[in-house]
Amino acid sequence: MATRPVMVSWSSGKDSAWALHILRQQPGQYDVRGIFTTVTPHFERVAIQATPRRVLRVHAERLGLPLYEIPIPYPCPNEAYEAAMTQFLQRVRDLPPDLTADTFAFGDLFLADIREYRETNLEGTGFEAIFPVWGMPTDELAQTMLSSGLRAIVTAVSPTSKLDRSFAGRWFDQSFLDDLPEGTDPLGENGEFHTCVIDGPMFDRPIAAGPGEIVGRPVSRNHDGSGGTVTAWYADVELLKD
């Protein structure tokens, strides 16, 4: 049986990293050929996670995979996002046979509307979406991640969550999980927080990095720039000498 060529949506955070890890544990079924992510050139960072591009490129090196960056504007109306993704699909179609893929993997866990959005947007394109971590209990998966040696920095805290500035720049560890306010998903699946992974079984070796400056930035309440602004807290990721 031939393996399925797949690219992984790489947010730079723990959930996408774990999705990739699961796929690589099934070499007879999946051939992971690359990672892709949206970046905001205005900030030189991964969209949402706020991981610096310089760190993103080290991720690709340590994963041993091609990186495909998809630039999007800020603010990014949904039409602009979908146009950027349409261009990316054509880019993938044009890749040589040994590099292209017909399957995209996403690290979504339980948000049915997000999954439906991804699947709907790929209908009729010749590409299929898969969800390697879908339905895994997030409390159990958080513990599995920690026991595997996964290390991640909390790079963004949502202004609409119960988390405050003090959670930005922390390590995603047991202490962090223990301090989460009641009702907060332990993996931040509802958007409460976002992370940047720097170590784990998906990398060939750890990335020497640590939390950097913490800043508050006004962000649009909605992705299309409507609804005014709120303050979101972000922590930089500083690369250290290996």
pLDDT per residue as tens digits for the range 97-143: 999 999 999 999 999 999 999 999 999 999 999 999 999 999 999 99
Domains of the chain: 4-239 (3.40.50.620)
pLDDT of residue 74: 86
Residue 184 in this model has a pLDDT that exceeds 80: yes
Give residue 131's pLDDT: 98
224 pLDDT higher than 90: no
Distance from C-alpha of 118 to C-alpha of 116, rounded to nearest angstrom: 5
Picking from 112, 116, 113, 111, the residue whose alpha carbon sits closest to that of residue 129 is 116
**Phi, psi at residue 70, to the nearest 5°?**
-115, 100
Contact between 56 and 12 (Cβ < 8 Å): yes
**Cis link prior to 75 (omega < 30° from 0)?**
yes
Which has more confidence, 220 or 95? Answer: 95
